[in-house]
């Protein structure tokens, strides 16, 4: 997805604009069998590893990309469905939802 945005920016004359991934994540609970702590941990670990390796993307190899995990805390009051309440690293009591940091 980053490269598709980069290509669009290049076509619009903004090829030198740095791109950051503002929100990325995976629900640890909610609906269906694809919302598990194990899948969320795997997704976020892989996301962090890719960012930390500074390998960039096929369109911009070797370029450092900033990325941010969505979100810090689970929010049980969110109105947008069950998955949306479970995208974070920590429960409101500060306990981790899953182990993501080495």
Q: Are β-strands 66-69 and 20-24 bridged in parallel, bridged antiparallel, or unpaired?
A: parallel
Q: Report the C-alpha gap between 60 and 79 in whole angstroms.
A: 38
pLDDT at position 101 is: 79
Count of domains for the chain: 1
| 66 noted as active-site residue | no
- Residue 34 domain-assigned? yes
- Residue 71 domain-assigned? yes
| 78 noted as active-site residue | yes
| 45 noted as active-site residue | no
Q: What is the separation of C-alpha 67 from the centre of its chain, rounded to a whole number of angstroms?
A: 7
- Residue 11 domain-assigned? no
Task: Tell me which residue of 86, 85, 81, 75 sits closest to 43, measured CA to CA.
Answer: 86
What are the φ and ψ backbone dihedral angles of 67, each rounded to 5 degrees? -145, 145
Joined together, the tokens standing for residue 36 give 């598990």
pLDDT at position 79 is: 87
Q: Report the C-alpha gap between 65 and 69 in whole angstroms.
A: 13
Active-site residue, from 45, 55, 78, 82: 78
What are the φ and ψ backbone dihedral angles of 52, each rounded to 5 degrees? -70, -30
- Residue 2 domain-assigned? no
Local confidence pLDDT in tens for the 102 residues of the chain: 999 999 999 999 999 999 999 999 999 999 889 999 999 999 999 999 999 999 999 999 999 999 999 999 999 899 888 999 999 999 999 999 999 876
- Residue 85 domain-assigned? yes
Domain span at residue 70 reads: 20-102
- Residue 13 domain-assigned? no
pLDDT at position 102 is: 66
């Amino acid at each position: 997805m980053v490269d598709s945005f980069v290509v669009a920016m290049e076509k619009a004359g903004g090829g030198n604009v740095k791109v950051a991934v503002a929100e990325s994540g995976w629900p640890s609970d909610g609906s269906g069998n694809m919302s598990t702590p194990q899948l969320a941990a795997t997704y976020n670990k892989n996301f962090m590893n890719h960012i930390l390796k500074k390998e960039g993307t096929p369109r911009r190899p070797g370029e450092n990309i900033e990325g941010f995990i969505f979100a810090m805390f689970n929010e049980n009051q969110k109105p947008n469905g069950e998955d949306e309440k479970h995208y974070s690293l920590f429960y409101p009591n500060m306990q981790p939802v899953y182990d993501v940091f080495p």
